[in-house]
């Protein structure tokens, strides 16, 4: 366990936010359109990147051979309508719907997500991402390894979590979320009291929330938010980071952070 060397809270307290989702992907915020919500700002945790789609990713997004992996490919761009239960997605798979279930939020290009799913074939894994080249690449890797315990969703995790039942998921993992380094962007950080209320609602009692970051300010911000969150217990004891668990593979953003000389901080919390 890693001790918190700071003797007092080094971060600014997270301000209240509106966690509703929006429809315009190009904007981070917009005015809500209902007359009652006229002055509410709606905040998202991501900025969609327009990056190159490689051939394999494109193939996986279009070839019926990979269609089983991407749950909402046919609904269009990030449309989550009709997804109200992650367990039913595995009803016809060897593990079935009752197997332990992990949800990974923001898997990026999916390498570490697929590595974890391949290493634990009796656990079901659902990954959600908004970045289409990553969704394609992840589906391609799942398909070429013929994994039967993986499903991928295109869309905003906050919106998805709001649609899911309570006490539904065994583990939720969020690895190297966008750190939103500027103070005016802190409200977009995924780990906030409002978003954690949405996350913990769908976690089972005794379930895990596991996150990691290479951005020191965000690490202490997360520790502050999560240690003070009613209903979660820090597995390493309040004020402490977790040792890096063996089962978490190196992610692309982790590698990039290490190359830049950053540290890495893991946090694991159990739902009471």
Ligand X SMILES: C[S@@+](CC[C@H](N)C(=O)[O-])C[C@H]1O[C@@H](n2cnc3c(N)ncnc32)[C@H](O)[C@@H]1O
Residue 150 and residue 125 in contact, taking contact as beta carbons nearer than 8 Å: yes
Do the annotations mark residue 241 as ligand-binding?
no
The token duo for 218 is 């965000």
Q: Crossing angle for the helix pair 193-202 and 216-227, nearest 10 degrees?
A: 60
For the chain, where are the alpha helices, taking DSSP H only?
55-62, 111-119, 132-144, 157-163, 193-202, 216-227, 252-259
User: Measured at CB, which residue is nearest to ligand X?
Assistant: 106
Do the annotations mark residue 37 as ligand-binding?
no
**68 lies in the site for ligand X, by CB under 6 A:** no
Cβ-based nearer residue to ligand X, 68 or 104: 104
Site string for ligand X, 221-260 (x = CB under 6 A): ------------------------------xxxx------
**157 lies in the site for ligand X, by CB under 6 A:** yes
Using CB under 6 A as the binding rule, the residues of this chain from 24 to 63 that contact ligand X are 45-46
171 forms beta bridges with 102, 208
Task: Please give the size of the binding site for ligand X, defined by CB under 6 A.
Answer: 23
- DSSP string over 3-40: E---SS--SPPPPP------S-TT-SEEE-SSGGGTT-
Dihedral of CA atoms 73, 75, 81, 83 in degrees, nearest 10, equals -30
Annotated active-site positions, please? Answer: 178
Using CB under 6 A as the binding rule, the residues of this chain from 188 to 227 that contact ligand X are 190
Do the annotations mark residue 156 as ligand-binding?
yes
121 vs 79: CA distance, rounded Å: 28
Shortest Å distance, C-beta 21 to ligand X: 8
Shortest Å distance, C-beta 164 to ligand X: 13
Annotated binding site for substrate: 182, 214, 251-254
Annotated binding site for S-adenosyl-L-methionine: 104, 129, 156, 178
Annotated binding site: 104, 129, 156, 178, 182, 214, 251-254
Residues in touch with ligand X (CB under 6 A): 45-46, 105-108, 128-131, 134, 156-158, 175-178, 190, 251-254
């Amino acid at each position: 366990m890693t001790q918190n060397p700071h003797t007092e809270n080094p971060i600014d307290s997270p301000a209240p936010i509106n966690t509703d989702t929006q429809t315009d992907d190009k904007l981070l915020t917009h005015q809500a359109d209902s007359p009652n919500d006229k002055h509410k700002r709606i905040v998202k945790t991501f900025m969609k990147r327009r990056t190159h789609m490689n051939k394999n990713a494109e193939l996986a997004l279009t070839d019926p051979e990979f269609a089983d992996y991407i749950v909402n490919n046919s609904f269009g761009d990030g449309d989550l309508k009709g997804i109200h239960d992650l367990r039913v997605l595995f009803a016809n798979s060897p593990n079935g719907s009752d197997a332990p279930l992990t949800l990974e939020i923001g898997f990026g290009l999916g390498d570490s997500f697929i590595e974890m799913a391949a290493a634990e074939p009796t656990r079901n894994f659902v990954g959600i991402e908004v970045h289409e080249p990553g969704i394609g690449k992840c589906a391609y890797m799942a398909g070429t390894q013929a994994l039967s315990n993986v499903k991928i969703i295109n869309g905003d995790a906050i919106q998805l979590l709001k649609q899911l039942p309570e006490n539904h998921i065994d583990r939720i993992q969020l690895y190297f979320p966008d750190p939103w380094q500027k103070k005016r962007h802190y409200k977009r950080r995924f780990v906030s009291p409002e978003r954690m209320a949405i996350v913990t609602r769908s976690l089972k009692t005794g379930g895990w929330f596991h996150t990691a970051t290479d951005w020191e300010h965000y690490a202490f911000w997360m520790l502050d938010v999560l240690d003070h969150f009613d209903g979660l217990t820090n597995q390493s004891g309040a004020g402490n980071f977790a040792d890096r668990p063996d089962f978490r593979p190196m992610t692309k953003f982790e590698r990039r952070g290490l190359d830049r000389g950053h540290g890495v901080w893991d946090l694991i919390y159990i739902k009471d």
